[in-house]
Amino acid sequence: MSKVIGWEHMSSSFVAPHVPALASLPAGVITLQDHETHARTRLDDNAWAYFSGGAGDEITVRANRSAWDALQLHPRILQPLAGGHTRIELLGRTLAHPILLAPVAYQRMAHPDGELATAHAAAALGAGMILSTLASTKLEAVAQAVVQDKDRGPLWFQLYLQHDQGFNRALIQRVEQAGYEALVLTVDAPTSGARDRERRINFRLAPGVSAVNLAGLGPMPAPALQLGQSALFDGLLQSTPTWADIEWLKAQTRLPLLLKGVLHEDDARQAAKLGVDGIIVSNHGGRTLDTTPATAAVLPRIRNAVAKDFPLLVDGGIRRGTDVLKAIALGADAVLIGRPYVYGLANAGAVGVAHVLRLLRDELEMAMALSGCRTLAQVSPALIFKQD
């Protein structure tokens, strides 16, 4: 287990000089759950409600977790394991492992180094990173920090389309110019969910934290509501994306386009038909519509609905190397983690994010070896135990 704290993989330049928490990860923090428990002591109630909360009764938040737990691995023995690895092929690149960092907004509320620390850690650990439209750091600064690192994983940009097409076009151009390699359009949040914990606490962004990449976006033209009209349907939702925008978006960019937030196999089929380059099966970590199925439950249907080699990623509740292995067995090419790395960030900045990634990757290697899998290409649905 000495490999678990594998800092030798990290370039010396990635730790910002003022990261105060370099040595402060308590010795007992050895799992992603430990990171969560420790992060609760580092974040104030406002930030905790934001980062850890979900929508409604948080039924989907819990379902995501319990669905991975409910699956059992059915290992094979005495398989040749030497020379094994966690590499995968994704959108024309070879990645060291199948773990990416999901887009999470406002990371400077978790740690002053925010998205920059996350980007350095992802690069050092060869993990993909998806920067949120609602990042609290300029997209150019994040790209500049890591884009030249030849060992880094893919750098993608998550897009929330705004009401102003001109602004959207300019944002996409900035993203392309900065060196991002794919656009991830989030499609499961035309409005935010009923995030009760935030509402109870009267959540506020921390001072100095804002969606800096949306600076210059004018206010949404607000039609005067008539008596009996809905503030949501007749107001806010006037300009939310539809399938027609997917075609528009594809025409705006040379970058591959992925949709994030797909739960229905018919939507997956339609996306593939429209030439979308990949799908992220996601329910937004249970933060939008509560009581949706767990992502582990819908993943096999979506795999069956699209071509065998159609890029499919999944997130929601992935906390263990065994969860990653199960996701691959159910048909995912790669997984994303959200809250766990933000807890790592809160705990120790870039070092904490890197620690989370290292833990998960090491657990994945162990799970593969103990299941009799040398490579992820060998992992199939047969690895999931089926009761007679």
Ligand X SMILES: Cc1cc2nc3c(=O)[nH]c(=O)nc-3n(C[C@H](O)[C@H](O)[C@H](O)COP(=O)(O)O)c2cc1C
Q: Give the active site residue among 38, 111, 120, 284.
A: 284
346 binds ligand X (CB under 6 A): no
In the list 36, 277, 315, 333, the residue contacting ligand X (rule: CB under 6 A) is: 315
Alpha-carbon distance of 364 to 316, in angstroms, equals: 17
The bridge status of strand 88-90 relative to strand 93-95 is: antiparallel
322 binds ligand X (CB under 6 A): no
284 binds ligand X (CB under 6 A): yes
State the DSSP string of 299-367: HHHHHHHS-TTS-EEEESS--SHHHHHHHHHTT-SEEEE-HHHHHHHHHHHHHHHHHHHHHHHHHHHHH
Alpha-carbon distance of 65 to 61, in angstroms, equals: 7
Q: Which stretch binds ligand X (CB under 6 A): 309-317, 324-332, 356-364, 372-380?
A: 309-317
Which one, 321 or 338, has the nearer CB to ligand X? 338
In the list 186, 292, 322, 347, the residue contacting ligand X (rule: CB under 6 A) is: 186
Q: Which stretch binds ligand X (CB under 6 A): 111-119, 199-207, 277-285, 348-356?
A: 277-285
Q: Closest approach of Cβ 287 to ligand X, in Å?
A: 6
Q: How many residues bind ligand X (CB under 6 A)?
A: 23
Q: Closest approach of Cβ 52 to ligand X, in Å?
A: 7
Alpha-carbon distance of 95 to 87, in angstroms, equals: 6
Q: Closest approach of Cβ 109 to ligand X, in Å?
A: 9
Residue 284 annotated in active site: yes
91 binds ligand X (CB under 6 A): no
Q: Give the DSSP H or E segment for 94.
A: strand 93-95
Q: Closest approach of Cβ 61 to ligand X, in Å?
A: 7
The three-state (H, E, C) secondary structure of 119-152, written as one string: HHHHHHCCCEEEECCCCCCCHHHHHHHHCCCCCC
Classified as helix, coil or strand, 195 is: coil
Q: Show the site string, 148-167: x = touches ligand X by CB under 6 A, - = not.
A: ----------x---------
In the list 60, 86, 118, 132, the residue contacting ligand X (rule: CB under 6 A) is: 132
241 binds ligand X (CB under 6 A): no
Which one, 312 or 337, has the nearer CB to ligand X? 337
Interface with ligand X by CB under 6 A: which residues?
50-51, 64, 102-105, 132, 134, 158, 186, 260, 282, 284-285, 287, 315-318, 337-339
Catalytic residues: 284
